[in-house]
């Protein structure tokens, strides 16, 4: 457990350029506090101390604004940045070196029993406000754009944007260590741009047909 505590602090320095000292991280980072509370509550939950585990998680939620069910499985070096509003469900599984921004929900889609929350692979980035809902896999090295709503499996090394979520990049060349989740392509906007280009081309053709030719007549 204490090994995880050290790696959680290191994850902050690797992902947040605003972090200045260990003292600051330990006492002021709510994402770290929520993860540490979970690392205490989860073993209790696995041993059948459900109520005590839930009490710890609810106190953590009250203090940090981050709700992590004690049944969720969290890997090493999870980084929750400005985590207000983050919700992680009971059967959710999160791999190593994952980055989650504020307002993210890793939830279910109904009242079914058993595995009903997503499994997040390693080195995944989930942008602000994204919703990943259902029991499916988000592959390693994938990026979920801000406010995306993901309802189906995401292949590894993919970029997903939109509502419903669409894969707009897969196995492409990565730029830097982390994708800038504020600069993701929007497939809807790209579609409108293509339509506008075609409309402009049609207008140009119609204009040419209406131009007068020799003899004062117009082209037909």
Q: In what order do the strands lie in the sheet with 149-150?
A: 67-68, 87-88, 105-107, 131-133, 149-150
Q: What's the pTM?
A: 0.74
The candidate with the shortest Cα–Cα distance to 117, out of 105, 100, 101, is 105
**pLDDT given at position 189:** 72
**May I ask the CATH architecture of the domain 1-174?**
3 Solenoid (2.160)
- How many Cβ atoms sit within 10 Å of the Cβ of residue 31? 26
- DSSP structure string for 49-87: -HHHHHHHHHHHHHHHS-EE-TT-EE-TT-EEES-TT-E
| pLDDT on residue 119 | 95
Q: Is there a contact between 149 and 131 (Cβ–Cβ < 8 Å)?
A: yes
pLDDT at 174 (0 to 100): 47
Domain boundaries, the chain: 1-174
pLDDT tens for the chain, residues 1 to 220: 667 788 889 899 999 888 899 999 999 999 999 999 999 999 999 999 999 999 999 999 999 999 999 999 999 999 999 889 999 999 999 999 999 999 999 998 877 778 899 999 999 999 999 999 999 999 999 999 999 999 999 999 988 988 888 888 777 644 344 455 555 566 667 777 888 888 988 888 888 877 765 555 555 5
- Please, are residues 127 and 142 in contact by the beta-carbon 8 Å criterion? no
């Amino acid at each position: 457990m204490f090994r995880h505590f050290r790696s959680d602090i290191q994850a902050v320095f690797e992902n947040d350029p605003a972090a200045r000292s260990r003292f600051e991280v330990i006492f002021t980072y709510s994402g770290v506090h929520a993860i540490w509370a979970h690392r205490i509550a989860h073993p209790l939950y696995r041993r059948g101390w459900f109520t005590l585990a839930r009490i710890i998680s609810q106190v953590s939620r009250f203090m940090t604004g981050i709700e992590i069910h004690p049944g969720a499985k969290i890997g090493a070096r999870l980084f929750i940045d400005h985590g207000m509003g983050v919700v992680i469900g009971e059967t959710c599984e999160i791999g190593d070196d994952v980055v989650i921004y504020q307002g993210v929900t890793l939830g279910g889609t109904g009242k079914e029993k058993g595995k009903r929350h997503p499994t997040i692979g390693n080195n995944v980035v989930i942008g602000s406000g994204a919703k990943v809902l259902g029991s499916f896999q988000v592959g390693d090295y994938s990026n979920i754009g801000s406010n995306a709503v993901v309802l189906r499996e995401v292949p590894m090394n993919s970029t997903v944007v939109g509502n419903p979520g669409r894969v707009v990049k897969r196995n492409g060349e990565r730029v830097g260590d982390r994708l800038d989740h504020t600069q993701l392509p929007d497939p809807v906007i790209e579609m409108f741009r293509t339509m506008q280009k075609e409309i402009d081309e049609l207008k140009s053709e119609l204009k040419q047909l209406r131009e007068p030719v020799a003899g004062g007549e117009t082209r037909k």
